[in-house]
Amino acid sequence: MEFPGLLFVISGPSGVGKGTLCKHLVNCEDNLHYSVSMTTRKPRAGEVNGKDYIFVDRESFLDKASAHEFVEWAEVYDNYYGTPWSELEAALVKGKDIILEIDTQGALQVKQKYPAAISVFILPPCEEELKARIKGRGSESPETMEKRLANLENELKVICEYDYAIINDSLEDALDKLKAIYTAEKCRTWRTLS
Ligand code: ADP
Ligand code: 5GP
């Protein structure tokens, strides 16, 4: 079963620029909407509850997971993150395109449950630049930054499961590539004719 809306899944190491790219893409494309995940992570300065994430405590997250309210969920860097299913499904049924920015564990769960999902892995130009970007964002303590960098190798192991890969060197070029993928997927014959 395929929904009229397109489900886009974006993953990549912490600090590679997923959030930046997704925000730009959503701003450029009228029918593309961002799915707001639920997390037990504490909000960063400037993050808004309900917009960046739905921030909850561990107990209520696990209650929702037991009640199968997530299409996928995973423990990432010592916190839980999950994609609520009901609103997402309602949007896809209506023909809205949705973008999920989730980790590799979650992306594989989505692909298994919904193979029509289009997955894109974002790569850094090199490890040094990735470190510089996480540091530049200023959101992580030295300890959480180490944890995020240490996960890089693990995440790269599953890159071949993704449909597309983009190196985010120049932001402009990477965004052009992401837009090209979105446009091409929208032009699939059955989508164009239905
Ligand atoms: P992620 O969502 O993957 O963790 P962010 O989107 O928060 O990463 O980006 C991390 C930092 O890198 C931010 O400060 C962002 O402005 C910066 N950034 C993103 N893309 C680029 C790029 N192509 N070149 C330089 N800096 C970038
Ligand atoms: P951050 O704490 O930097 O916002 O996100 C940490 C990691 O969690 C990133 O790799 C991000 O893609 C991932 N993530 C965010 N939301 C979800 C979600 O709903 N599910 C899963 N599995 N991962 C998520």
What pLDDT tens digit does each residue of the chain (194 aa) get? 789 999 999 999 999 999 999 999 999 999 999 999 999 999 999 999 999 999 999 999 999 999 999 999 999 999 999 999 999 999 999 999 999 999 999 999 999 999 999 999 999 999 999 999 999 988 888 888 888 888 888 889 999 999 999 999 999 999 999 999 999 999 999 888 87
What's the gap in Å between 50 CA and the centre of ligand 1? 22
Global confidence as pTM: 0.95
What's the gap in Å between 172 CA and the centre of ligand 1? 12
* CA 98 from centre of chain: 10
CB 67 within 8 A of CB 82: no
Which numbered atom of ligand 2 lies nearest the CA of 12? 10
Nearest CA to ligand 1 atom 12: 133
Pocket test for ligand 2, best of 76, 85, 104 (most atoms within 8 A of CB): 76
> Mapping DSSP to helix (H, G, I), strand (E, B) and coil, where does residue 158 land?
coil
What whole-number distance in Å separates Cα of residue 54 and Cα of residue 186? 29
Beta-carbon contacts of 35 under 8 Å, excluding residues fewer than 6 positions away, are 83, 84, 87, 88, 91, 98, 99, 100
Strand pairing category for 79-84 and 38-39: antiparallel
What's the gap in Å between 12 CA and the centre of ligand 1? 11
What's the gap in Å between 103 CA and the centre of ligand 2? 5
Residue (of 45, 40, 1) closest to 139 by Cα position? 45
Which numbered atom of ligand 1 lies nearest the CA of 122? 3
C-alpha to C-alpha distances, 151 to 16, 18, 138, 172, nearest whole angstrom: 13, 16, 19, 26
Q: E strands within 14-163? A: 32-34, 38-39, 54-55, 70-76, 79-84, 97-101, 118-123
